[in-house]
């Protein structure tokens, strides 16, 4: 039973570029959340997708956008990259209904994004 998979594992970009990160949820899960984890910090919630729509959004600018596909996989897009966007980007999946408290979010190993 495959868990949450993310690609790529590492990525190097320069300022001003655009990046797309990908996530496949754990089998049976239908909800995908994205988190940004800066070095030495805890993860910060970016947004969550359910039924191909953004269900909740954290305090991130519009440069951060996402998408969920019919197979529940998801993409995170970041435009006009800044040095401060360098971080580990984590994807988490869960099953809607009953809340994450009963269906805890399962995390992937993340994509390490470095901005030069």
Partner 1 sequence: AQSVTQLDSQVPVFEEAPVELRCNYSSSVSVYLFWYVQYPNQGLQLLLKYLSGSTLVESINGFEAEFNKSQTSFHLRKPSVHISDTAEYFCAVELAKQAGTALIFGKGTTLSVSS
Q: How far apart are the C-alpha atoms of 5 and 25, rounded to whole Å?
A: 7
Q: Does 107 bind partner 1 (CB under 8 A)?
A: yes
Pattern 16-35, partner 1, x by CB under 8 A: ---------------x-x-x
Are the C-beta atoms of 74 and 6 separated by less than 8 Å?
no
Smallest gap from Cβ 15 to partner 1, in A, equals 26
Q: Does 84 bind partner 1 (CB under 8 A)?
A: no
DSSP class of 81: -
Are the C-beta atoms of 26 and 32 separated by less than 8 Å?
no
Nearer to partner 1 by C-beta: 24 or 105? 105
Q: Does 103 bind partner 1 (CB under 8 A)?
A: yes
């Amino acid at each position: 039973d495959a868990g949450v998979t993310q690609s790529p594992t590492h990525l190097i970009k320069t300022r001003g570029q655009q990046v797309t990160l990908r996530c496949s949820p754990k089998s049976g899960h239908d909800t995908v959340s994205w988190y940004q984890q800066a070095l030495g910090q805890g993860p910060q919630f970016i947004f969550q997708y359910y039924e191909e729509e953004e269900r909740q959004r954290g305090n991130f600018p519009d440069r951060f956008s996402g998408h969920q596909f019919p197979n529940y996989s998801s993409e995170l897009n970041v435009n006009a990259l800044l040095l401060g966007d360098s971080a580990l980007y984590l994807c988490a999946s869960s099953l809607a209904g009953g809340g994450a408290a009963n269906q805890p979010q399962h995390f992937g190993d993340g994509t390490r994004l470095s901005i030069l």
